């Protein structure tokens, strides 16, 4: 059986030195800012301090809302789903088009306060092996609640840009094990990673795994399934 | 007790506060850096945020297998006068630094370099904290490792002539670290963004028995049975202590039993501090429920007690870098009402772990709200503590240092895969 090697990752955040005070300046920087910066401001936000439920799910939209007070721009930028773009350049293009559209219809140029400019940063992802290997999907029931948020980020978020079908690593592993796990794969695929903190994602994944194997175990061997994983505070 | 046992115990104590996964992640990252010689250099062993962080950081690095040490440069009166002026100028104050002080700055660094050169040249990674020891790099011609300038100051609006002077000493560094993107200046090398942190094992932050906290309140004639709001901060206009009193007065109209404690000191080199303290005393003079504690030398335990005993903690700054007192209070499970400025906007999630306010009126309204909906105090306080646990403890800070060290030794590619 294929094994699942648990990896972990940590981000080092690097300033690019580029910044914007208006939407037009943001558009201008987006033309040629480091591609890692676009990735960082869509996904890297998950590894930074944030509430369990976010109003906007990427930094561009949040800035338009909180610092420019431009709600239409914020809403349109928030609806961009980075998981649907196969590469960063396509995502850059979509961002630029949304901003251009907003600039075309706006007569008044909104400015952010000088101390609330948008600072473009990028991240260096350091991936390391935890030396923990799972031989059977059932082992995920115990392993998932113990995974660091860095592991959740690596296997559930970062995987989408590594994996050819843009799936998370859990789905990719399970799909390689035959049709037995089709229901489980479907449940995992139902989680939208774009709206939850990593802690909530970990809880939801843990619950799905515990429910699946709990039910399977009860049905097959008539014994209680594994206990519900420990509750993790979001 | 063997060194190894002591290290394991230290890591276990951090795991109790930060979580097992946080410490396990540190172990795994540090595995790649075992034996690395890391030297931190700053200008004081005790007092101030940098020393506080290093007191925790260096033993933690050692416990994880790094060969970490901490060196302190020794200076003269002229040297410290110069670096104090640097500090003020880098935060925007226009001032001229006398040439003899600038010469003392370079001479003191040259003198310290004679003593420190063997250690610094042999190190794999050198962290130079703040401007004081910055010229040391120029005296270590055959250095082996990576040199990192760790800036703890808000450099967003420096007085340009002074920044230009200091910058010449920084050009040869391999990287800089700033606490926030807004605080950084463009540099000819990579600039990392790493917020500071608090140490959950320091006396200021360890859990304090409520009875012990009440005893401390008794020392200052504060009634522990009545609601208390506190601001623990220097008497500085940017901390807006008079605005805090105004907010307290507005809230007290609705909560007559309310008490306020303003505790802090004035910096010896801040001529405005005494004037601000005088204004605060005048503003508080007609109300015996306002306690102005101004000796400025309160023990960590006293600060801990005041933060722990308060129902709500304020940090109503008008300008602020990274306010560690905000994080300390949140770690004690307190909702914080903070000024909507600087690093506080990163430290505090509005409406979730506290409130961001722009005016005394805003602060008064939040005090009233929390004291009338007391269940929200514990709800918000719990969320605040959890936010700190995940993001602002020294374990997170160290994780980012370790990640940066790995990144620097692997050429800053977007992705570095370690075996």
Residue of A nearest to B412 (CA): A124
Residue A217 lies in a domain: yes
Which of B193, B342, B398 to mutate against chain A (most A CBs within 10 Å)? B193
Of A8, A129, A199, the CB nearest to B419: A129
Specify whether A21 is located in the same domain as A102.
yes
At B271, the pLDDT band (50, 70, 90 cuts) reads low
Residue A231 has pLDDT above 70, yes or no: no
Domain with CATH 3.40.50.2000 in chain B: 3-200+393-409, 210-391
Specify whether A114 is located in the same domain as A183.
no
CA–CA separation, A162 vs A146, rounded Å? 23
Residue B37 has pLDDT above 80, yes or no: yes
Show residues of chain B in contact with A125, CB under 8 Å.
414-416
Residue A221 has pLDDT above 60, yes or no: no
CA–CA distance from B248 to each of B283, B316, B341, B362, B367 (Å)? Answer: 11, 12, 20, 11, 8
For chain A, the distance separating the N- and C-terminal CA atoms, rounded to the nearest angstrom, is 34
Question: pLDDT by residue (tens digit) across B50-61?
Answer: 898 999 999 999
Closest alpha carbon to B10 in B305, B405, B398: B398
Show residues of chain A in contact with B403, CB under 8 Å.
10-12, 124, 126
Specify whether A67 is located in the same domain as A89.
yes
Residue of A nearest to B411 (CA): A124
Specify whether A117 is located in the same domain as A22.
yes
Question: pLDDT by residue (tens digit) across B163-177?
Answer: 999 999 999 999 999
Q: Give the residue from A88, A122, A156 where a domain finishes.
A: A122
Residue of A nearest to B390 (CA): A49
CA–CA separation, B282 vs B274, rounded Å? 12
Closest alpha carbon to B198 in B75, B314, B304: B304
Closest alpha carbon to A113 in A20, A25, A15: A20
Number of domains in chain A: 2
Rounded to a whole number of angstroms, the distance from the CA of B309 to the nearest CA of chain A is: 25
Of A8, A15, A150, the CB nearest to B191: A15
Q: Is A10 on the interface with B (CB under 8 A)?
A: yes
Q: Give the residue from A67, A100, A122 where a domain finishes.
A: A122
Residue A226 lies in a domain: no
Q: Is A36 on the interface with B (CB under 8 A)?
A: yes
CB contact under 8 A, B406 and A126: yes
Specify whether A67 is located in the same domain as A162.
no
Specify whether A177 is located in the same domain as A107.
no
Residue A131 lies in a domain: no
Output the pLDDT for position A229.
34
Instruction: Work out the average pLDDT over B175-196.
Output: 95
Show residues of chain B in contact with A14, CB under 8 Å.
190-193, 412
Output the pLDDT for position A106.
84
Measured on CA atoms in the order B37, B42, B43, B45, is the torsion positive or negative? Answer: negative
Which of A9, A15, A41 to mutate against chain B (most B CBs within 10 Å)? A15
Of B341, B402, B415, the CB nearest to A127: B415
Of B186, B399, B410, the CB nearest to A17: B186
Composition of chain B by helix, strand, coil, percent to 5: 50, 15, 35
Residue A3 lies in a domain: no
Specify whether A65 is located in the same domain as A147.
no
Q: What is the mean pLDDT of chain A?
A: 86
Of B181, B390, B417, the CB nearest to A121: B181
At A85, the pLDDT band (50, 70, 90 cuts) reads confident
CB A172 within 8 A of CB A163: yes
Instruction: Work out the average pLDDT over A34-56.
Output: 81
Residue A220 has pLDDT above 60, yes or no: no
Phi-psi bin for B49: left (phi > 0), alpha (psi -120 to 50), beta? Answer: alpha
One-character DSSP codes across B322-367: --HHHHHHHHTT--EEEESSTTHHHHS-BTTTEEEESSHHHHHHHH
At B184, the pLDDT band (50, 70, 90 cuts) reads very high
Angle at B412 between CA A39 and CA A85, to 5 degrees: 20
Output the pLDDT for position A219.
46
Residue A81 lies in a domain: yes
Output the pLDDT for position B269.
53
DSSP state of A53: B
Task: Give the number of other Cβ atoms within 10 Å of residue B221's Cβ.
Answer: 9
Domain B210-391, CATH number (from 3.40.50.300, 2.60.40.1120, 3.30.565.10, 3.40.50.2000): 3.40.50.2000
Instruction: Work out the average pLDDT over B144-171.
Output: 95
Q: Which of A192-196, A201-205, B190-194 has the lowest mean pLDDT?
A: A192-196
Domain B3-200+393-409: what homologous superfamily? Glycogen Phosphorylase B; (3.40.50.2000)
Closest alpha carbon to B36 in B4, B67, B7, B69: B67
Question: pLDDT by residue (tens digit) across A129-179?
Answer: 888 999 999 999 999 998 988 999 999 998 988 877 889 999 999 999 989
Residue A130 lies in a domain: no
Output the pLDDT for position A51.
57
By residue range, what is the domain housing residue A21?
10-122
Rounded to a whole number of angstroms, the distance from the CA of B392 to the nearest CA of chain A is: 9
Rounded to a whole number of angstroms, the distance from the CA of A132 to the nearest CA of chain B is: 11
For residue B351, the Cα-to-chain-centroid distance in whole angstroms is 23
Specify whether A95 is located in the same domain as A161.
no
Say what the alpha-carbon torsion angle B414, B417, B418, B419 is, to the nearest 10 degrees: -170
Question: pLDDT by residue (tens digit) across B85-113?
Answer: 998 899 888 999 999 999 999 999 999 99
Measured on CA atoms in the order B74, B78, B82, B84, is the torsion positive or negative? Answer: positive
Q: Residue B149: helix, strand or coil by DSSP?
A: strand
ipTM confidence: 0.86
Q: Give the residue from A65, A93, A122 where a domain finishes.
A: A122
- Structure tokens belonging to residue B16: 């109790």
Show residues of chain A in contact with B399, CB under 8 Å.
10
């Amino acid at each position: 059986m294929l094994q699942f090697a648990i990896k972990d990752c940590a981000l080092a955040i690097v300033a690019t030195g580029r910044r914007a005070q208006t939407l037009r300046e943001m558009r201008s920087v987006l033309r040629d800012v480091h591609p890692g910066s676009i990735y960082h401001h869509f996904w890297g936000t998950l590894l930074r301090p944030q509430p369990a439920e976010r109003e906007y799910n990427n930094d561009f939209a949040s800035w338009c809302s909180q610092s420019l007070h431009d709600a239409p721009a914020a809403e349109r930028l928030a609806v961009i789903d980075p998981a649907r773009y196969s590469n960063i350049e396509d995502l850059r293009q979509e961002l630029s088009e949304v901003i251009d559209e907003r600039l075309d219809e706006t007569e008044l140029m909104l400015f952010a306060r000088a101390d609330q400019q948008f600072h473009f940063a990028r991240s260096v992802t350091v991936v390391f092996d935890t030396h923990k290997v799972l031989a059977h999907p059932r082992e995920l029931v115990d392993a998932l609640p113990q995974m660091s948020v860095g592991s959740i980020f690596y296997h559930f978020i970062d995987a989408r840009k590594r994996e050819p079908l843009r799936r998370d690593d859990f789905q990719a592993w399970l799909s390689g094990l035959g049709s037995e796990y089709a229901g489980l794969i479907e449940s995992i695929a139902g989680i939208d990673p774009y709206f939850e903190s990593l802690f909530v994602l970990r809880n939801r994944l843990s619950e799905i795994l515990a429910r699946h194997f709990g039910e399977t175990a009860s049905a097959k061997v008539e014994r209680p399934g594994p206990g519900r994983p420990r509750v993790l505070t979001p | 007790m063997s060194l190894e046992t002591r290290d394991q115990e230290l890591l276990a104590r951090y795991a109790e506060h930060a979580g097992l996964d946080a410490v396990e992640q540190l172990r795994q990252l540090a595995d790649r850096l075992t034996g690395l010689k890391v030297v931190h250099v700053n200008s004081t062993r005790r007092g101030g945020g940098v020393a506080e962080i290093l007191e925790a950081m260096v033993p933690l690095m050692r416990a994880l297998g790094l060969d970490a040490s901490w060196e302190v440069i020794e200076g003269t009166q002229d040297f410290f006068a110069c670096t104090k002026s640097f500090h003020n100028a880098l935060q925007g104050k226009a001032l001229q630094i006398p040439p003899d002080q600038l010469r003392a700055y370079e001479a003191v660094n040259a003198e310290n370099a004679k003593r420190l050169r063997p250690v610094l040249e042999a190190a794999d990674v050198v962290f130079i904290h703040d401007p004081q020891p910055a010229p040391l790099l120029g005296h270590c011609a055959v250095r082996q490792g990576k040199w990192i300038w760790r800036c703890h100051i808000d450099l967003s609006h420096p007085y340009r002539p002074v920044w230009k002077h200091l910058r010449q000493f920084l050009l040869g560094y391999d990287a800089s670290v700033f606490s926030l993107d807004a605080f950084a200046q463009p540099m000819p090398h990579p600039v990392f963004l790493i917020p500071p942190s608090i140490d959950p094992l320091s006396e200021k932050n360890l859990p304090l028995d409520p009875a012990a906290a009440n005893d401390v309140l008794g020392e200052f004639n504060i009634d522990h049975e009545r609601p208390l709001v506190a601001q623990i901060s220097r008497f500085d206009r940017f901390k807006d202590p008079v605005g805090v009193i105004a907010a307290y007065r507005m809230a007290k109209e609705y909560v007559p039993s309310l008490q306020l404690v303003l505790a802090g000191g004035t910096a010896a080199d801040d001529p405005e501090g005494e004037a601000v303290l005088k204004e605060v005393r005048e503003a508080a003079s007609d109300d015996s429920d306002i306690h102005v504690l101004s000796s400025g030398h309160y023990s960590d335990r006293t600060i801990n007690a005041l933060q722990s005993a308060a129902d709500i903690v304020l940090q109503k700054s008008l300008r602020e870098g990274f306010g560690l007192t905000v994080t300390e209070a949140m770690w004690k499970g307190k909702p914080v009402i903070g000024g909507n400025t600087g690093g506080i906007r990163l430290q505090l999630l509005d409406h979730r772990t506290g409130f961001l306010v722009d005016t005394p009126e805003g602060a008064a309204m939040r005090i009233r709200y929390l004291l009338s909906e007391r269940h929200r105090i514990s709800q918000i306080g719990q969320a605040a503590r959890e936010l700190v646990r995940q993001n602002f403890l020294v374990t997170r800070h160290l994780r980012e240092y370790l990640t940066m060290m790995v990144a620097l030794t692997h050429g800053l590619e977007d992705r570095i895969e370690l075996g």
